[in-house]
Every structure is written in C-alpha cells, then in structure tokens.
Amino acid sequence: MTGITGTILETVLTTAFAVADPAAEAAGHAGAHGGGHGATSGGALMALIPLLPLFGAVLVGVFACFNEKSKLPAYATVGLLAVAFVLTLITYLGWNGHDPIQVRLWDWIGLEWGSGGVGQTLDAGFAFYFDGLSLLWMLFVTGLATLIGLYASEYMEHDAGLGYCRFFGAFNLFVFSMSCLVMGDNLLMLFLGWEGVGLCSYLLIGYYYKKKAAVDAGMKAFVVNRIGDLGLLIGTLLTFTTFGSLEFTELFATIGHGSTASGAPLDATWQVWAIPLLLMMGAFGKSAQLFFYVWLPDAMEGPTPVSALIHAATMVTAGVYLVARMMPLFVADTQLIALSVVTWGGAITAFWAATIAMAQYDIKRIMGYSTISQLGYMFFGLGVLATTGGVFHVFTHAFFKATLFLSCGAVMHGFAGQLDLRKLSGLWKVPGFKIVVIAMLIGCLNLAGFPFTAGYFSKDMILAEAWVTSDSTIWGSSWAGWLMLLTAGLTAYYTFRVFFRVFVGPVEYHPGDDLHDHADDAHGEDHAHDAGQHGDHHADHFHPHAPKWAINLVLVALAGGSVLAAGLYFVGDHHGWAGDMVHASSAHFDPAHIGDHSAAVAGVGDAVAGGESHAGDAHAGDTHAAHGTILGLDPHKYMYYISAIVGFVGIGVAFVLHFAGRTEAATSRADSLARAMEPVHTWAERKWYVDEFYHFIIVTPLKVISHLFHWFDKLVIDGIVELFGGVPKASSESLSPATQTGVLHDYALRMVAGVAVVLVVVAIVLY
Amino acid sequence: MTEKVALVWPEIWLFITTCIVMVVGLSPDERVRKLCSWICGVGLVVAIGTAASGPVLGDPQASGLFPSLTPYAKALIGIVGLMLLPLLAGTVDRDLDAAIRAGKAKFDAIRTNRAEFYAFFLFSLTGLMLCASADDLIWLFLALELTSLPTYIMVTISTRGTRSQEAGVKYFFLGALGAAIFLYGFALLYGASGSTDLVEIAGAFRTQAANGGLNPIAIAGLAVSIIGLCFKIAAVPMHMYAADVYQGAASGVSAMLAFVPKAAGFLAIMMICGTVGWGHGGSDSALPTPIYILLWVVAAATMFTGNVLAIRQTSVKRMLAYSSIAHSGYMLVGIIAGPGTGDGTFWDNGLAAVLFYLLTYGVTNVGTFAVLASIQRVNPDGTTQEADEIDDIRGLHRTRPHLAGAMLLCVLSLLGLPPLLGFFGKVGLFTAAISAGEIPLVIVLGLNSAIAAFYYLRILRAAYLEAPDEDGPETRPAGIQPRVVAALLSAGSVVALLAIAQPLIANSVGAAQYVAPREGVAESASPIPDTVTSVETGLAPVEISRADD
C-alpha cells in the first residue's frame, strides 16, 4: 500500500515541478528580451491580462453550475476586466515608448524535423509581444469590454440565470481570445486568438438560440469567416515556408534583410505578393470587407452589447490589426500589389455599404452597414500608406461606434425591441431618454465627421493621404480618394437620417415584438395588436422602459471618451498619440523609401529593433514639397475644409429630407425622392441582392452537389454495405427454419449423417 | 502412483468438498442446507490454490504430452467455476423458498434438491479438472463422462417448467450418441497403437510415420474421436442441441454449459491431436492431411453456422448459444495452427491462444447470462420467468443501468473489441493462424468476427438505444443479488484482468508447451525429450528447465 501511495505522490510532485519549470523559464525569457527596460516586472502583469478573462470564463461557468440567479456573473466579469484594463494601463505607463516587450509564458509548439535547420524547426511559444500597436489595441479592447460588460449587466437582466452565465462566459472568452490575437508574439498565437474570437462571435450572435434568424446569422458569420480564415492559414503556412519562422521579431528581421530564409532575394519570389494577398483575404473575412461583408449585417441579431463590442469596436478591427502588424510584408513588395488591392477593396466596400445603409429602416442594421463602411475607411487608410490615420480611426471609431450601438441598444431595450425608424420618433421628449439622445448625437457627429470631433480628425488623416500618395505608388489612389470623399457625404446623410427621425421631431412610438420579455406581460396581446396602428394613445398602455444607472453611466463614459479622443490628435511627436504608437511598432515604415526596397525594409528593421528617432513617418508630414496635391491644393491643409463641407452637405440634406416639416414617424419628404429613384432605392434597400446572388452561385450548386452525393452514398456505398450485411442475414433466414426443428431424432439423424459425411471425406482424402 | 496423486490434488479436494456438500445437504435444518453454496466456494478456492502450485514442466511428476498444462488449466477451471457459483444461486428450490417465506408451505426435507444441484456442479468441475490431468484414453473418457453426466441432470432440474425437462432429455440422448462416437474413436486409436497411454500412442504413431506412413486405422480413429468430441464443444455437425438446450435450461446452467463441456472438449481434442503431433503435412508443421482438412472444414462451417444462425434469433439465450458455437469455431483455428514452429511465443502458439481464449470466453460469458438471470419477465398470468427475449432487455439502460453496463462490457469483449479482454484472446488466434500460414482461415475468422457484430450490437442497441416496450410484458429484477454480483464481477474482470494480462498470457504459453515424444517409446521410459529446454514467451520470458532423469 505504501508503495502505491509513494508512486502517486511522486507522480503528483513531478507534474507540479513540470508545471513550475516553464514559469521560471518565462521569467528568464522576459529578462532576456526585455533587456533593462523593466520588462521583467511588467511581464508578469502582462501575462495576467489575457489570463484574467480566461479565469472569468471559468468562474462564470462555476456560477452556471450553481445556477446563480443574481447579477454576480456580470459584476465578476466587469471586475476582472477592469483589473485587466488597469494592468494594460500600468504596462503602457511603464513602457519606455519604443522597445517592444516580450514575455514567454511557456513553450507551446516545438517541432523539429529533418536536419532541424532553417525551415525545419517550428518554435511557437505561448508568448506575448507588446509594442505600440498591440498596446493601443489592448487599451481600447479591455477598456471598452469593461464598460460594455457593465452595460450588459443591465441590458441582459431579463435573462438572469443560465442565459446570463452563458452570455458572460462567452463574453470573457472573447476578451481572452482577442487578447491572444492582439498580444501574441507569433502568427500561431494570432491564429489561435483569431479562431477564438470567431467562435465567441458565433456563440454570441446565436445567443437567442430559439430564434431562427439568430441561429442562421451565427452560422453565416462562422461559415463566411472560415473562408477568409483559409486565406490566413495558407498565408501563415507560406510565411513559415518562405521565412522559416512565425515569430514576429525573427520574421521582420528576415524580411528586413530583403531575402527569404534560404537567402534568395525577396523581390524575385512570388511569395512576396502572394502572402500579403492571402493575409488580406483573412483580414477581409474577419473585418467584413468586399465579398465577405454579408455576415456582419446579419450578426446584428446578437444582443446589442455584443454588436457594440465584437461587431463594431474590437473583433472586426482584427483584420486592420493583421494588415498593420504585417505591414513590413506588405511594403516588402516593390510593386505594392497587395496594398493597391487593400486600397480599392476598402474604398469600394466603404461606398457600397454606405449606399445600402442609406436605404435601410432598421437602425441597428444601419449601424452595422456603417461599421462595414468605416472598416473600409481603415483599410483604405492602410492601403494609401496612411497607417497612422487608419490606426487612429480604429481607435476613435471604437469609441463612437460603441456609443452609437449602445444608444440604439438603449432604445431597443426601452421600446421592447423596436428598431424600425418609421415607428419611433422624438425620443428627446420621452422622459428618461435625454442622456441616450445626447450620447447618440455625439456619436452621430463623430461618424458624420463634424468638425473638431475625433472622427473628423481621424478621417481627415486618411483622406488627405489619398492625394499625398501618388497614383503610381498605389494604383489610382486619388480616384479612390474621390470615392471616399463622396462616401463621407453619404455617411453624414444616413447617420443624421437616423438621428433626425428617431431622436428628435414629433413624439410617437410603437413597441416592438419583445413585449413578453418585460414586466407588463399580461397586456402583451393588446400591444401587439395596437402596434399596427398609429397615434399617441400607445402611451396609455405602453410605458417606455427608461435606462437605469448602468446604461446611462456607460453611455456618458463612452460619449465622453469619443469627445476626448479628439484631443489625442494634438499630443505626441508624430502626428498625434496614435502616430507615436504606430511609430514604435512594426506598422511603421519610411514612406520616402517606398518602392526603394532596401531602404524601406531598413526602416522596418529599425522600428522593430526599437530604433532611434526617425525622420519620416507614415503621415509624411516633413516632406510637403514632394507629395501630390488635390486640385492643386495641399491635401494636408485643405482636407480639413473639404471634408467639413462634405459633412455639412450630408447633414443638411438629411435635415431637409427627414426633419423639416415632418409630422409623424412613418413618413418624411424623402419618401417622394425614394419613389422618384424607384429601382435604385429598392435595390439598395434589398442590399443590391448580394445575398440572393451568393445564394444562387454558391449555396445552390453546393446543395445540388450534396444531393447528388447523398444519392450516390445511399445507392452505391450503402448498397455495397447492405450486400455484406444482407447475405448472412438472408442465409440465416433461409436456414433457420430447416435447422431448428427441435425434434430429437432429427438432430440425432443429422449428427450421424454428419459423421458419415466426414468419414467419407477422410476416406477420399486418404486414398 | 504417488506421482499421479500429486497431480490430482485439486480434484481430490473438490471431491471431498462434494461429499461434504452432499452430507450437509441432507440436514433437516433449512439454514444448514443453505451453507451448501458457501462450502462449494471454499472448496473451489482451496482447489484453485492447490492447482496453482501444481507441477510444471521440469518437475519430476510432470509428464505426458502437455507436461505443464494442469496448473493453468485447473486454476482457470476453478476461477470460472467460482464466478459461475453466484450465478447458479437461486436456480433450484426458489419457488419453495418463496412459498416458505410467504407462509404458504413448510420446509420439506424431501422436496428440496439444493444439495444435489451443487454437488453435481462440483462433480462436473472435478471431471473437467480430471480431463486436464488425463494421460490415458480410459482416464480421458471417464473424465469426459464425469464432466457431462451431472450436467444432464442439472439441465433437467434447473427450472420447474417442462422446457428444461425436454432440454435435459435431448441433451442426454444426443450426448450419449456423441460419447458413443468418440468412444469408438478411442477404441480405434487403441487398435492402431496397441496402447491406451497417450505418450505411448504418440510414440507408436511417430514410429509408424517414420516407417512408411500412419496406419489408416489411426487416421480413422483420430477422425472419429475428434468428430465425437465436437459434441462437447458444440461444433458442426454435432452442434444442433446447443440452441434448444441453452434455451430450455436456466440461464445459470446455460452459462455453465457454454464453458464446462467446451473446456473439456478442447482439452481432449488437444490431447488427441497431440498423439499424432503437428509434424506432418507439406511443411512438416501441420496435422496429417485428412485430420487437417477435417478440422479446417469443421472450423469454417462452425464459425459460419454459429454466426449466421445467431442473426435471426429473437431469444437472447439462443443467440448466445449460436455465438457459443461460433466461438468454438474460432478456437478450432488455434488447434489447427498448433504449437507453432517458432520460438514459442504467444503470437505463434495456437494452443496457447486456445487456452487463453478459454479463459477470456469463460470469464466474459458468465456476465451475459448473469444479466439475463438478473431480470424476470412477468407473464400476463402473473407467473414469472427468466428474461430470454430481446424485448426483455429493451431499454435496460434506463431501468437498470448497472446491468446494461455489464452487458455492454461483456458483449463488446465477446465481440473482441479492443482494448477489452476478448480482443487479446482473439488476437492470439489471428497471429497464430497467420504465422502458421493459414491465411484463408484467417479471412474466414475475420469475416465471421464482422458478422458477429451484427447480432452482438443488436443486443446493445436494444439495451441502450431503444425505449422500454410499454405494451410488452413487464420486466422486473429477479431479486437474487448474487446473480447481479456475478454480472458485475464478470464485467469487472473483462477490464480488470487486462492489468494482469501479461502474466496470464505468459502462463497460457507455458501451459501450452507441447512435447513431441521420441520415436518408438519403449515401456514407460521418461517421456521428456531433450528438445525443449527453454521457451521465450515474447511477453515475459519463462525459463523452463529440464529436470534430470
């Protein structure tokens, strides 16, 4: 007995030490990579940032096991995420501003094959990499997740219990995955997080799993993302075979030398343009760009906090992060093929989505299309080498789009799921909705690019660069710029169309279909009936459910954040705070040398190595004389005026069509205009029939093939199997009546006959 | 003489226990009578202990064609017997006991036959053990009959219905016919060799083979003996009785019939084949051609007949009876493969595979019947009977999950699914047949294993995937806890024995060492040849040293 106990004890101890070892190793790694910049102490804290939400997910799971009915899961989540945010902030404040921090928690995948040389060793640590880019992302990811978690604690209250736990479990898991994506120090970690956020997105879109639309939307999001993910996966594998490593530091150093792992000059290879295009495919899938965007509007079926956090502020910007992170690869190609595709892909998506948004009536879907459109801006920014502008727009957009979504969510929460802008009007005068309307206004101003808002500055940085970057560097960049300028006008229009119709004007509201979710359950039938009619008498029955402290607090915080984000444009040494952050990351390159390969990559190498201060930067502010112009004017100065005018025009048109003279919720002056341009309007309202088109060219053929295979399987494959099963069965059926007579002398006779046969056979064999 | 007594100590202990059981069973006190089963258990444990310390190859007492067979074979018999014991609990006198408890009847010393039942059980096991230590044709015949005769009575008295009486009569007459056939075969063997001692017969055959071939009478004797012994193992063409008898008898007795006569039959066939040896045929590593063909055809026909006829059965007991026939077919493959010509590992020794398969089959088989014995079906007229139809175990998973779990493990083990015990039994047969070059037979074996899945999985489907039949007859637990214990014990062994599979396999290899006699053995000189001195098991080396004469 002692022997056995001893053995068990020994096993346990060995395991414990085996676990302890990597921790020691991690400290060693942190020390080695971080040098003398205090990374070792920061490293331990950094490692906690993703682990806290992971712990949160487990904790919420435990709550679910105990069937916790209170708001405890929400507050636990918010608490843990707040700590994660504070840790990120501490890491940021303790960062020296240029050198990346690396922390290796444990060896995750260590493979070696062949002779174990270059390209035959795969070493991916469970390791984190902090530079300006990942810090910027982590600040708003953890910050917004905390605030939106708090908002959701009230928003999801009707589901307290198992549903509540399910929601916050997936919520925590999402933040963990997103942290892995952003903080990972190699492409495999990024891929892990990439798939993780995809999974959580699927789980949360389909949160209302009894609603078919929600389930379908979740599946659609997942399937469409898978196609993009294939590109990312192949791109990752190609990166490995080409450069022999997936770790960012090594990867960028190799690219910096302008050669592949085997020493061949990079310019001569096909991988130099193929890898960026494949990575771009992954990015376009995750960020809902051209050809892949169809999943995002449907994803609005998820609870609004999910739409705000995952499908507006954080997850969908992962594609932008990927392109920014891998910028050295994109600019390594002297032809800049992939960046041209990114530019035009972004521009066309932005315009396309804006036209659809103009004709929609569901305010949450409008915001969904607006997100696609704004993501198009970000890609366009990256494409025309306005990396700082693109990244800054990610940051500001995260705040103001979250504000917009959460305001819409507050309306939805208050009016029993009503989202149709023809059935809501004049919320400013409804008691308890003042904060919501003000927050909405701030969000709309940002989105429309109203002067001196954060959205205005970040959009300008992108637009101006379209003309600064010459058409020969990025194919047709100024033409794409004109398209973007037009889109800016459309954006201002559709944004304020929502605001003028829903939030101001005459008071009128009809509750949505979710009445049964609310306290006045008994009258649900009446309301559903009344909802079909017009008139203010609804106020007699239906009482809007004004938001309470949590929603209001979060709206104030986010609206405030949106306003304050504008200030970030004026701080720092490199065109705003975002410029500083980009400057100290792999997204930084020297635009003066784009097209001149060796110098460009030298700049990249410097940035990664935490190089000294640089003359040029993404915004190229120091080289005015050299760059292009917009109609002979300097884009850097005049874009402020041009875009402001465009924004005013858009808002003005919305004012005239949707506010002036409007007396009821359902109609406005725009209706006659819509009738005048009938086919276009209907096509835009039906989203240009893209879903139907995809259904026709992809889903239908697949269904036909699957039916063919089904019948082949049933007739041929099953037939063969049935044959093998059928022969013994049939022989059994024919034999058993004959053999099982149960009569004694039958049996005896057969035994004797058997013996006789055997003896005869033996005799024949013998002679 | 004293050497022989040393060999049969386990049988002597069992015989003494049997006598005690018979005497105690006559007690006028009901409580004393109930001690019978406990005395049986003690006797079996003592027998297992004595058997395990029996002589092995190299000991002065060890002799015969399979000098170290007895310890393994007798321990195996004792262990399976010990597992059968709780399963047999409550088979006889149950109705009377119930009536006494209900106050409807009084204890009647004449009407109870518990003592006879347990005594016959022990007699049968004694006979089986004697088979293992047989070194003479007459001994072998008497041992075989001692094994079988008590079972005829046990079948007859196992239930109060007429079906078991019918089964008993069928079994007795057909058994007598079978015995007559192999007795005739034994007589021919004596006629061909001039001796009844197995070693001397082997020597005579070796001489004949070396001087112009075997006597045709020898071949005829071998063929008739084997075909007669096919009755014991329920192989084609002597298999007909199995389904009727297994169904008619109580489940516990059926489980016993599936193991005890079968083990006796295989031990006897091993010895009969051993007299002529596996040094014939084209490759000098097979049985004489007529015998080889005979066994080949019987094996293939038995496998196909058993499995194909099992498919259509609706009675689980009949299904298990046909599956028991099929298992005999599998084991005959091992006999055909023989002890192998290699270095004597488990992987090429077909006899070792047969001995190990007997263990796995014996242990597993108890569980399937025990599950059936633990459930009763309530007939519309209020009487109860043991579960038999497949409908009776429908939805067993929901009503009695532990029994369903035992059924699952046992059936999957019978099917030979890795990593359960049955898999290791079957894998030995496969590898031995492959190394003996019996590829067609291996294909037949594989095909039949696949067909067997058909009906085994049907049992599991009924137990696990189907809902209890609401309209059908009601089922309820039989209320005999020892039977449930037997089911769980068997299912547990299917898994637990894996932990000691390596020593078990090593032991079966040691027990299967076949010592080919030298040419023209004169008188009763030491039969131990110089050839086999050390054997590698492949799993754990077993050193077998030859004793000095």
- Residues in chain B closer than 8 A to A725 (CB atoms): 454
Q: Name the residue among B169, B216, B454 with its Cβ closest to that of A725.
A: B454
> Is residue A138 within 8 Å of A157, Cβ to Cβ?
no
- Check residues B202 and A686 and name the one with the higher pLDDT: B202
What pLDDT sits at residue B342? 64
A110 and chain B in contact, CB less than 8 A? no
Rounded mean pLDDT of A670-674?
81
Residue of A nearest to B293 (CA): A762
What pLDDT sits at residue A442? 94
For residue range B305-349, list pLDDT tens digits in order.
999 999 888 899 999 999 999 999 999 999 999 888 766 788 889
**Percent helix, percent strand, percent coil in chain A, to nearest 5:** 75, 5, 25
B173–A757 CB contact, under 8 Å:
no
- The torsion angles phi and psi of B208, rounded to 5 degrees, stand at -60, -45
- Residues in chain A closer than 8 A to B293 (CB atoms): 761-762, 765
B223–A759 CB contact, under 8 Å:
yes
Q: Is the pLDDT of residue A322 over 90?
A: yes
Rounded mean pLDDT of B161-176?
91
Q: Name the residue among B178, B216, B312 with its Cβ closest to that of A732.
A: B312
Q: Where are the beta strands (DSSP E) in A18-164?
A: 101-112, 121-130
Residue A89's CB: how many other CB atoms inside 10 A? 15
Query: A175 CB contacts (<8 Å, ≥6 apart)?
Result: A50, A53, A56, A81, A84, A141, A142, A145
A754–B237 CB contact, under 8 Å:
yes
What pLDDT sits at residue A259? 80
What pLDDT sits at residue B548? 42
Interface probe for A, chosen from B173, B308, B313 (most Cβ of A below 10 Å), is B308
- Residues in chain A closer than 8 A to B450 (CB atoms): 724
Rounded mean pLDDT of A496-511?
89
What pLDDT sits at residue A648? 92
Please report, for residues A2, A707, B352, B483, the alpha-carbon distance to residue B497 in angstroms, rounded to integers and kept in the order given: 23, 49, 17, 20
Provide DSSP, A395-454. HHHHHHHHHHHHHHHHHHHHTTT--BTTSEE-GGGSTT-HHHHHHHHHHHHHHHT-TTSH
pTM over 0.80: no
What pLDDT sits at residue B343? 65
A725 and chain B in contact, CB less than 8 A? yes
Would you place residue A115 in the very low, low, confident or very high pLDDT band (cuts 50, 70, 90)? confident
What pLDDT sits at residue B542? 40
Provide DSSP, A122-149. EEEEEEEEE-HHHHHHHHHHHHHHHHHH
Peptide bond into B419 cis (omega under 30): yes
3-state secondary structure B368-428: HHHHHHCEEEECCCCCEEECCEHHHHCCHHHHCHHHHHHHHHHHHHHHCCCCCHHHHHHHH
Residue A607 CA to residue B1 CA, distance in Å, equals 99
Lowest mean pLDDT segment, chosen from A391-405, A509-523, B104-118: A509-523
Q: Is the pLDDT of residue A305 over 70?
A: yes
Look-up of token digits 């390594």: A332
- Check residues B372 and A617 and name the one with the higher pLDDT: B372
B231 and chain A in contact, CB less than 8 A? yes
Q: Name the residue among B174, B224, B312 with its Cβ closest to that of A751.
A: B174
B169 and chain A in contact, CB less than 8 A? yes
Closest C-alpha among B441, B236, B221, B255 to residue B353: B441
Sheet holding B384-386, edge to edge: B384-386, B375-378, B474-477
For residue range A422-454, list pLDDT tens digits in order.
888 888 888 888 999 999 999 999 999 898 899
Average pLDDT along chain A: 82
Rounded mean pLDDT of B516-524?
55
Would you place residue B95 in the very low, low, confident or very high pLDDT band (cuts 50, 70, 90)? confident
* Angle, helix B241-248 to helix B316-337, in steps of 10 degrees: 130
Q: Which helix (H) or strand (E) holds A508?
A: strand A508-509
The length of chain B is: 549
> Is residue A135 within 8 Å of A92, Cβ to Cβ?
yes
What pLDDT sits at residue A516? 44
- Residues in chain A closer than 8 A to B178 (CB atoms): 751
- Nearest CA of chain B to the CA of A721: how many Å? 12
For residue A424, list its beta bridge partners. Answer: A509
For residue range A708-755, list pLDDT tens digits in order.
999 999 888 888 888 877 888 888 888 777 777 888 888 889 889 988
Q: Is the pLDDT of residue A617 over 60?
A: no
For residue A124, list its beta bridge partners. Answer: A109
B308 and chain A in contact, CB less than 8 A? yes
Peptide bond into B216 cis (omega under 30): no
What share of chain A in percent tops pLDDT 90? 37
Provide DSSP, B117-147. HHHHHHHHHHHHHHHHT--BHHHHHHHHHHH
A120 and chain B in contact, CB less than 8 A? no
A732–B308 CB contact, under 8 Å:
yes
Give the SS3 label for residue B442: helix
> Is residue B337 within 8 Å of B353, Cβ to Cβ?
yes
Q: State the burial class of residue B234 (Cβ atoms within 10 Å of its Cβ: 0-12, 13-18, 19+).
A: buried
What pLDDT sits at residue A626? 57
A735 and chain B in contact, CB less than 8 A? yes
**Percent helix, percent strand, percent coil in chain B, to nearest 5:** 70, 5, 30
Look-up of token digits 């891929």: A191
B219–A735 CB contact, under 8 Å:
no
Taking one residue from A and the other from B, the number of pairs with CB-CB distance under 8 angstroms is 86
Closest C-alpha among B175, B173, B155, B174 to residue B165: B155
B457 and chain A in contact, CB less than 8 A? no
What pLDDT sits at residue A514? 67
- Nearest CA of chain A to the CA of B214: how many Å? 11
A736 and chain B in contact, CB less than 8 A? yes
Rounded mean pLDDT of A355-361?
90
> Is residue B158 within 8 Å of B105, Cβ to Cβ?
no
- Residues in chain B closer than 8 A to A755 (CB atoms): 181, 224, 227-228, 237
- Residues in chain A closer than 8 A to B216 (CB atoms): 766
A732 and chain B in contact, CB less than 8 A? yes
Lowest mean pLDDT segment, chosen from A361-375, A509-523, A643-657: A509-523
Which residue ranges make up each domain of chain B? 2-545
Q: Is the pLDDT of residue A479 over 70?
A: yes
A747–B241 CB contact, under 8 Å:
yes
Residue B232 CA to residue A68 CA, distance in Å, equals 66
B519 and chain A in contact, CB less than 8 A? no
- Residues in chain B closer than 8 A to A735 (CB atoms): 308-309
What pLDDT sits at residue B60? 60
Q: Name the residue among B173, B216, B244 with its Cβ closest to that of A742.
A: B244
Look-up of token digits 């062994």: B493
For residue range B202-236, list pLDDT tens digits in order.
999 988 888 888 888 999 999 999 999 999 999 98
* Eight-state DSSP code of residue A83: H
Q: Is the pLDDT of residue A610 over 60?
A: no
Rounded to 5 degrees, what angle do the CA atoms A359, A360, A361 make?
A: 125
Would you place residue A21 in the very low, low, confident or very high pLDDT band (cuts 50, 70, 90)? very low
Interface probe for B, chosen from A720, A752, A761, A765 (most Cβ of B below 10 Å), is A765
Rounded mean pLDDT of A513-525?
46
What pLDDT sits at residue A386? 86
What pLDDT sits at residue B148? 94
A740 and chain B in contact, CB less than 8 A? yes
What pLDDT sits at residue A591? 65
- Residues in chain A closer than 8 A to B311 (CB atoms): 728-729, 732
Residue B340 CA to residue B436 CA, distance in Å, equals 7
